[in-house]
Structure 1
Amino acid sequence: MKKTLILAGVLSAFAMSAHAQSSVTLYGSLDAGIAYANNAAGHSAWLQNSGGLSYNYFGLRGAEDLGGGLKAIFKLESGFNLNNGRFNQNNTIFNRQAYVGLQSDQFGTVTLGRQYDSVVDYLAPLSLEGAGPGANLAGHPFDNDNLSSTFSLNNAVKYSSANYAGFEFGGLYSFSNTPGDFANGRAWSVGGKYSYGPLNVAAAYTQQNNNNPNAINSAGATAGNTNIQARLQRTFGVGANYAFGPAAVGFVWTHAQIDGLGGLSSGGVALGGINSGLNLHLDNFELNGAYHLTPALAMIGSYTYTDGTVSGTSGGNQSPKWHTVVLGTDYSLSKRTDVYLAGVYQHASGYLGDADGAPVANVAAINTLPASSTNNQIAATVGLRHRF
């Protein structure tokens, strides 16, 4: 009897120890509001907005302590539309991230599965659309540089270093998984960041290849993004952010080189009249800032100038441009719940390709909203966000 009690106690202690060495966490973000756009696909519109500041998602992440500073980790993350409950990106359940890997305190982390590229990991946090307060509406036209994390990469192997005196770096390779055509649909990315007190700097590069110009977002490995269809896309950029007292200012420059264009969309609506096969090169210059009036009340804003060049048209090179201004305020009701008000103005100029030899005028295209039918677009949203 005594031995039985001792054995039961040992097994119970072992079970509690094993439980303490591993963990699984449910987390996510819910963001909904009411939005107004003066011109969305040719009409003014009042909309129930899903994800005005940050995307709606839920996920599971876990870790098991293997000893010696080594852990087994995983993450399963699903983005969805809060208005109708549908999964984003072709109804793929784990459309944002789905990976498993090993994490070492000394050597860094290796993961395999569906993952974000280095632009999202290192550069996006320095932009308004990728920062903590966030503002998806501040994304650059068509999210051409993925700073708003519109897409992630399939079949990806990623390495992320440990923190070495403030310096971190990493890279990713996304296999095409196409038998007999290794290069068709592959992607790769590298990046790094350095933090020293209030100063943060970062740089990143991503390249996606595909022989099919109608492939979603350039590479077959990137299933899910309907904003850009092209044969080749290269994205690189640098950024910096500096915090002083209750304020922070940042600057981000990105260059998106989109070759063999197959189509452009905004807010799920395709832009018509653009011939395929064009080359679209875009430079985004973003100045952003945030100021905490009180610990609970913050003001956010940004100005982005996007300068583009279209080549391959019968009319020669053309120069589409966009000016985007974002202002917003965010009030925290608690550590997990906040309310917000944000407004966006965008002005477009130049031409965005041609159709049968006739120039196609550029149009305003605020991120996440259907593009305007003119060169101006104004939108505003008020909403509630809860994180868990």
Structure 2
Amino acid sequence: MEIVILAVVIAVVVVGAIGGLVVGSRKKKQLPEAKAPSVTPTITAPPTEPHVGDEAETPRDEPRRTIEEVDLPVAEPSASAPVVEEAPAAPPALEIETPEPTAGRLVRLRARLSRSQNALGQGLLTLLSREHLDEDTWEEIEDTLLTADVGVAPTQELVERLRERVKVLGTRTPEELRALLREELLQLVGTDFDRAVKTESGLETPGIVMVVGVNGTGKTTTTGKLARVLVADGRSVVLGAADTFRAAAADQLQTWGERVGARTVRGPEGGDPASIAFDAVKEGIAEGADVVLIDTAGRLHTKTGLMDELGKVKRVVEKHAPLDEVLLVLDATTGQNGLVQARVFAEVVDITGIVLTKLDGTAKGGIVVAVQRELGVPVKLVGLGEGADDLAPFEPEAFVDALLGD
């Protein structure tokens, strides 16, 4: 009996062992190849709704909107849909201006001129009104004239004439003194000059005007303003931008021309000024223009080579037609230094007229007398401000009246 029980136990153990081996072999076949241990991600449970006692944001009192008040989102164009770009708007056409008439322009600007100039006239009237005109007073009168850049020789002449006439006049009322001083200043400024800007050649070619002057005198601006003066007087104008050495000079001149409908002939920056001047005259003839205005580079009067080039521009232009006018632009604020400039330019080209700029910004109106005496040519135009129509024909009577004030 014990033997039978033992045999049964052994059989059970054997069967169990065999079963374990089979199961173990099956598990080994199903397991994948051993890999490096990986970190098991931690799964965080979604937050639960706050319970009573938990901290929560205090709800804000906001007005509720109806469905009609809620704006719908704007649909953005899909990437595949072609975007149609609007064509850029064409720039507006530049409106051509009508310049102010030149007749009587200096009279209209008289108040502006008298504000800065009448220190000269009023100072002289005050000194001449003294009861006793001794030597000290006459020296003060001379100093007043010299300070106003009248020049030494014209000052001495004026003082001598005033001395004689005051001595003859005897008792002097303010009205008599003013009339006396006005008469003498008019004689000094000169009323017998021909101050018209020559713009008619008398030939089949346009009138040719060349504008010269040193840097900083407002030469290019003056050329543009002169174009306005001519257009206001009913003339057709072609501009020649022969100032090729100063950056944007041609652009500046072209802008002035476009404002009054005048065409500008220009070339590359740093190009040959004589060639551009030649082309400007050539095109002016082809178009049948009345006047060709040539703006030259602002040469420094100390540089002989550049001054020689200015002479070349003149010679090249005259292959088409003779120059009718050579205007020298001077800054009235430079005083006696302007006379040095005028002298050098007069040696290179035949100056026929003077343009005084910035005459409204100085009490040295005597430069009008000095420069005319130096060159023997008249002041034909004066600049009295920054406005487009502030270039005026010079009128001696209006100028002297502005000096003396009302």
TM bucket by the smaller chain?
under 0.3
Instruction: Specify which structure has the higher proportion of helix.
Output: 2
Q: TM-score, normalization: structure 2?
A: 0.25
Q: TM-score, normalization: structure 1?
A: 0.26
The higher relative CO (CA closer than 8 Å, separation ≥ 6) is in 2
Instruction: Specify which structure has the higher proportion of strand.
Output: 1
Larger Rg: 2
